[in-house]
């Protein structure tokens, strides 16, 4: 559908974006890979100028065998899994609710979506102080009102608290996408099922849920990619303490706090591999959609 001239123009016009992204991907990735095979502790006098010692896979084995690694993997899985479960289940229910006719639909929609636009540092701080503060937070007031002892959320139930905060941020995303998907459901299908005598619950199981399956998969995959690299929420609430150190945060600490670049880089490579496993599945879905 085109001429040689337009094809060569197309190549030229695509070049800046492709070259920039290629550089953005390859340069740091190569450096991370390089450091991951080196002993690199800037605080102890290692520097690029003097050359770094090659240590083979030592950083990789040390990263895995460190006492912090498996707990961090567990924390990551619990956090990602918890947020996914909450946002997807509540997201489906909310999407169905918002799809019903009621007064003030537009306003309620806006109220529900709003958290998504709040920057991560703000939502983390607001939750930490205004809601979860064990003395002056709203939750503490509520607990006292019902005669219970206020909870020190971020130290006693730290991981659950972070899951709650992150879920609050991502629930709008899940709801919005699932709502869009529900609205694309052909209502004749539902009416046909109703004519066939299917009660509401089985209409949900056999028609609505299968229709949503693709959207749910997309929500899960995209959220997983973002959730795996959750940073600011932990940074400003617990700083990785009280069992909230995820893999991302562990790597961050290795690089920034303990300045062990080699070890941190090896961790980075693990994180990249993990993200890519999820990414492959997402790409398949998006790629299929591209052909349609």
Partner 1 sequence: MARAVTPQRKILTTLVAWIIGLLIFFPIFWTILTSFKTEAQAINDPPLFLFFDWTLENYAVVQERSDYMRFLWNSVIIAGGSTLLGVLIAVPAAWSMAFVPSRRTKDILLWMLSTKMLPAVGVLYPISLLFVEFNLLDTRIGLIVVLMLINLPIIVWMLYTYFREIPGEILEAARMDGATLKEEILYVLTPMAIPGIASTVLLNIILAWNEAFWTLNLTAAQAAPLTAFIASYSSPEGLFFAKLSAASTMAIAPILILGWFSQKQLVRGLTFGAVK
Partner 2 sequence: MGRIQLKSVTKSFGDVQVIPPLDLTIEDGEFTVFVGPSGCGKSTLLRLIAGLEDITTGHIEIDGKDATDLVPAKRGLAMVFQSYALYPHMSVRKNIAFPLKMAKMDKAEIDRRIEAAASVLNLTDYLDRRPGQLSGGQRQRVAIGRAIVREPAAFLFDEPLSNLDAALRVGMRLEISELHKRLATTMIYVTHDQVEAMTMADKIVVLQAGVIEQVGSPLELYQRPRNTFVAGFIGSPKMNLITGAEAQKHDATTIGIRPEHIEISQTEGVWKGKIGVSEHLGSDTFFHIQTDVSKEPLTVRAAGEMSLGYGAEVYLSPRTEHLHRFDAQGLRLG
Q: Which stretch binds partner 1 (CB under 8 A): 56-64, 65-73, 109-117, 152-160?
A: 109-117
**Footprint (CB under 8 A) of partner 1, residues 210-249:** 214-215, 218, 222, 225, 228-229, 231-232, 235-237, 248
Taking the complex as a whole, how short is the minimal distance between the CB of residue 95 and partner 1, in angstroms?
12
What three-state secondary structure class fits 54? Answer: strand
Interface with partner 1 includes 110 (CB under 8 A)? yes
Contact 128, 232 (CB under 8 A): no
Q: Which does 4 bind (CB under 5 to 8 A by kind): partner 2, partner 1, none?
A: partner 2
Contact 75, 159 (CB under 8 A): yes
Q: Which is nearer to partner 1, 112 or 208 (CB)?
A: 112
Interface with partner 2 includes 4 (CB under 8 A)? yes
The two tokens of residue 208 are 């609505």
CA distance linking residue 97 with residue 101, whole number of Å: 9
Selection from 276, 267, 249 nearest residue 36 by Cα? 267
Q: Which stretch binds partner 2 (CB under 8 A): 1-9, 73-81, 86-94, 221-229?
A: 1-9
Taking the complex as a whole, how short is the minimal distance between the CB of residue 13 and partner 2, in angstroms?
16
Q: Which is nearer to partner 2, 1 or 292 (CB)?
A: 1
Taking the complex as a whole, how short is the minimal distance between the CB of residue 51 and partner 1, in angstroms?
16
Taking the complex as a whole, how short is the minimal distance between the CB of residue 3 and partner 2, in angstroms?
5
Contact 273, 266 (CB under 8 A): no
CA distance linking residue 83 with residue 72, whole number of Å: 16
Contact 121, 234 (CB under 8 A): no
Q: Which does 291 bind (CB under 5 to 8 A by kind): partner 1, partner 2, none?
A: partner 1
Q: Which does 54 bind (CB under 5 to 8 A by kind): partner 2, partner 1, none?
A: none
Interface with partner 2 includes 3 (CB under 8 A)? yes
**Footprint (CB under 8 A) of partner 2, residues 33-52:** none
The conformation of residue 195, written as its DSSP 8-state character, comes to H
**Footprint (CB under 8 A) of partner 1, residues 117-136:** 117-123, 125-131, 135-136
Is the backbone of residue 3 left (phi > 0), alpha (psi -120 to 50) or beta? beta
Neighbours of 140 (CB within 10 A): 20
Angle at 68 between CA 226 and CA 127, to 5 degrees: 45
Return residues touching partner 2 (CB under 8 A). Answer: 1-5
């Amino acid at each position: 559908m085109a001429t040689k001239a337009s094809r060569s123009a197309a190549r030229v016009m695509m070049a800046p974006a492709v070259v920039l992204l290629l550089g953005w991907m390859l340069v740091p990735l190569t450096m991370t890979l390089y450091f991951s095979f080196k002993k690199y502790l800037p605080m102890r006098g290692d520097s690029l100028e003097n050359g770094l010692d090659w240590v083979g896979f030592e950083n990789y084995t040390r990263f895995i065998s460190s006492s912090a690694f498996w707990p961090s993997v567990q924390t990551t899985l619990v956090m990602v899994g918890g947020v996914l479960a909450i946002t997807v289940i509540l997201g489906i229910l909310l999407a169905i609710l918002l799809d019903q006719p009621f007064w003030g639909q537009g306003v309620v929609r806006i109220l529900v979506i709003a958290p998504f636009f709040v920057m991560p540092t703000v939502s983390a701080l607001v939750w930490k102080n205004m809601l979860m503060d064990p003395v002056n937070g709203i939750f503490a007031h509520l607990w006292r009102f019902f005669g219970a002892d206020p909870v020190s959320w971020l130290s006693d139930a730290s991981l659950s608290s972070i899951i709650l905060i992150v879920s609050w941020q991502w629930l709008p995303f899940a709801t919005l996408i699932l709502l869009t998907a529900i609205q694309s459901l052909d209502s004749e299908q539902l009416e046909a099922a109703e004519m066939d005598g299917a009660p509401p619950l089985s209409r949900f199981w056999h028609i609505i849920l299968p229709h949503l399956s693709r959207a749910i998969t997309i929500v899960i995959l995209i959220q997983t990619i973002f959730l795996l690299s959750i940073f600011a929420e932990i940074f400003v609430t617990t700083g990785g303490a009280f069992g909230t150190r995820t893999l991302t945060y562990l790597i961050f600490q290795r690089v920034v706090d303990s300045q062990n670049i080699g070890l941190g880089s090896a961790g980075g490579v693990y994180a990249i591999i993990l993200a890519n496993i999820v990414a492959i599945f997402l790409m398949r879905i998006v790629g299929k959609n591209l052909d349609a």
